[in-house]
Chains A and B, each alone.
Chain A
């Protein structure tokens, strides 16, 4: 009883990066996200798990307003990034997305050279003034994306010519090249083989030092391996949110328990 508050305190030592309150998402008449409130910490890997169709991707896309690109999608509620409401009418989603980068389920490199894939973000955001600076950003991003050694000799060859795992790491490198503060990943390993998955997971763990990472995954083992916090979604509701170790060992909600023991799929 005495320890409990202090445990809370140690957890909260890390700053809150994103605070979502009472978020509702509708696709036309479909109510896809219901009353979700969650606080995502800085320098932490947060995993969203849940059966497919439960709204993980939908909620993730709220965090960088990618849902704006879907005509029928409507978002209500409040999402604060560093205490600023990202759905404020004054906010330009383009600026927001530079701060909140995204990696998609299917690797989607541009059909351009590896170099141009990485350089595109920095270029449109004016992060480099000279070619030398741009070269430096490209190298640094590819190193942080743990793919530099594999591609350093063929920066001018097309990014689409890489293997699936390499493409996904290229996409991660591309996302971090714009120096975002938060990195959203929607099932980044679902199209990868186990070896590539291991490489990407290792990379995610390293990224934690600099970013707040939110990862959607359908693999509970993966959530257990890479995340510190886990949120369990079910039918559009956030059922349970807490430390990964706690969610996987002593879930509070019976639905969470059935899911992690394999009874809801």
Chain B
């Protein structure tokens, strides 16, 4: 081995075979790592790009502004402005007023069209008369005046402006004709028909199958909000109390071992299992109302508890024992040492875990399937807390699923838009969690 004739073999300036091999394998590993990260990032980018391109359209809606004369002889024959009598006029009574509005536009702008008045109104949403009626019932003093009113265009017109609907694609569509699209082009030129940001998509209620243009996320958002309220109010105190007891007070024996193992097991239980449990216990046995956010919240609480318990125990464990010793050595009781010293130090971690648990619960869909929160169309925002908790509602992910399921492509676009809203919530919550963790990390 000690070959004196080639002493240069051990120079540092030239790597030996082993070193070369080691370096090569390290370089290979780095490459694999970079490829893995690259794949992950590409997936993320594709996902974000798809969601954004498909979803942003939902935040824009086409509106048509008309001068509508609220004829007194149609809406309030007596002239007494008696709300009860005005209510007797159904949406049918408003249709002629809208047709009048179109007449005026055509006359004012000199648009040439062969469309009958009924077909002119056909480019509006089916909810247009109801929109106008609601406005009048809200403010009966406007009767007799001419008002400027912004109507929702129907989803075909909206799709036409967004490029989803073309003259070719509507060949077999009896909801819209090529003449109507010509009319739309003219109205657009005249500045009467416009696409603009639509707050109602974020704040409004879901609408029936026929009116995708009127559907919004707001009420489902309220449903999600009330569910999160229930989860927060139950899972946080129960989870924290359970963790503190297990971590700080309970004797370490086989019973606590079993409990510990089962909490971890619980965290791995598929959420649909909690859903069927909720159906059996909360609805069939306890007779809580179906589709109610209260029940949804209870089910999600079961699901979130293990997450909160595990993260709370981890943050309690992370508090150095010397702090407990210091407090106990001064004659503080166990409880004082926990509540005065350990808990404040663990609080950021607990909060982070709670937010992440809530974010999980917010995006959870499967259990809601079983307790009837999917497929329910909530048309009114809840008026108060008890109504919010007990009256049937949907939730954000449930609403997205519901939209994606419907046939009309206009709903499909709204599903993507809903996903954007949901993601904004989730990303915000996770960001808050990360910031909390960063800020309060290791203060001792």
Mark interface residues in A138-179 (1 if CB within 8 Å of B CB, else 0).
000000000000000000000010000000000100110010
B229 at the interface (CB under 8 A from A): no
Inside 8 A of A102's CB, which chain B residues have their CB?
325, 329
B329–A160 CB distance below 8 A? no
Q: Which of B179-187, B257-265, B333-341, B426-434 contacts A (4 or more CB under 8 A)?
A: B333-341
Inside 8 A of A124's CB, which chain B residues have their CB?
330-332, 336, 340
B324 at the interface (CB under 8 A from A): yes
Give how many B residues have a beta carbon under 8 Å from the other chain's beta carbons.
Answer: 21
B235 at the interface (CB under 8 A from A): no
A160–B444 CB distance below 8 A? yes
B341–A110 CB distance below 8 A? yes
B-binding residues in A (CB < 8 A) = 64, 66, 69, 71, 94-98, 101-104, 106, 108-111, 120-121, 124-125, 160, 171, 174-175, 178
CB distance from B248 to the nearest CB of A (A): 10
Report Cα–Cα, A260/B347, bound state, in Å.
48
CB distance from A208 to the nearest CB of B (A): 20
CB distance from A117 to the nearest CB of B (A): 9
Inside 8 A of B329's CB, which chain A residues have their CB?
64, 66, 97, 101-104, 175
Inside 8 A of A103's CB, which chain B residues have their CB?
329
CB distance from A144 to the nearest CB of B (A): 16
A110–B252 CB distance below 8 A? no
CB distance from B139 to the nearest CB of A (A): 59
* Contact A120:B340 (CB < 8 A) given known A94-B333, A111-B444, A160-B444: yes
Report Cα–Cα, A62/B28, bound state, in Å.
58
Report Cα–Cα, A94/B320, bound state, in Å.
21
Report Cα–Cα, A106/B320, bound state, in Å.
12
A71–B252 CB distance below 8 A? yes
Report Cα–Cα, A234/B324, bound state, in Å.
29
B83 at the interface (CB under 8 A from A): no
Report Cα–Cα, A162/B292, bound state, in Å.
55
B325–A108 CB distance below 8 A? yes
B322 at the interface (CB under 8 A from A): yes
Of residues 375 through 428 on chain B, the ones whose CB sits less than 8 Å from some CB of chain A are: none
CB pairs A–B below 8 angstroms (6 shown): A69-B328, A102-B329, A108-B322, A108-B325, A111-B443, A174-B330
Inside 8 A of A178's CB, which chain B residues have their CB?
330-331
Inside 8 A of B252's CB, which chain A residues have their CB?
71
B51 at the interface (CB under 8 A from A): no
Report Cα–Cα, A29/B125, bound state, in Å.
82
CB distance from B4 to the nearest CB of A (A): 47
B111 at the interface (CB under 8 A from A): no
Report Cα–Cα, A231/B431, bound state, in Å.
57
A111–B345 CB distance below 8 A? yes
A101–B325 CB distance below 8 A? no
B85 at the interface (CB under 8 A from A): no
B233 at the interface (CB under 8 A from A): no
Report Cα–Cα, A103/B340, bound state, in Å.
19
A108–B331 CB distance below 8 A? no
CB distance from A249 to the nearest CB of B (A): 35
What 17 new A-B contacts, CB under 8 Å, besides A111-B444, A120-B330, A178-B330?
A66-B325, A69-B328, A94-B331, A94-B332, A94-B333, A95-B331, A106-B322, A108-B322, A108-B323, A108-B325, A108-B326, A109-B326, A121-B332, A125-B331, A160-B444, A171-B326, A174-B330
B251 at the interface (CB under 8 A from A): yes
